[in-house]
Amino acid sequence: MPDKAREKPTRKTGAAHFLAAAGYSLGGARRLWREAAFRQELLGLAVVLGLFLLVGASAGQVLGLLILGLFVLVIEALNTALEEIVDHLSPDWSEFARHAKDLGSFAVMCALVATGLYAAWVVLL
């Protein structure tokens, strides 16, 4: 039996839009939590934050770390979204799927390297 056609939801405005957007964001966070890489990145951020506090990093340096850490999580979320789309479009192995996933992984790696270089600069200099 075919699925019933879904009606387009009505567009929310004002406070209802804000609450709906917050719900979508929480749903995204719940989905991202299932990714081991996301949990490892959060743990790494917590460890480096602890190291920053241990070496007496300034408030500005801690803020810089938090901004870069959020940047890593943003890229990880986008990479996970890309993988979801690619897996849907290409359930079997394909060259396009490999390229898309490799590019997403490279973006995450660049963000991690940038954060690592910043952390090393703060801790070692």
Give catalytic residue positions.
76
Residue carrying the six token digits 């506090």: 53
Nearest in space to 119 (alpha carbons), one of 36, 44, 20, 42: 44
Alpha carbon separation from 5 to 2, 9, 11 (Å, rounded): 9, 12, 18
∠ at Cα 116 (56, 68), nearest 5°?
Answer: 80
Count of beta carbons in the 10 Å neighbourhood of residue 20: 13
Is residue 62 packed enough to be buried (19+ CB in 10 Å), middle (13-18) or exposed (0-12)?
Answer: middle
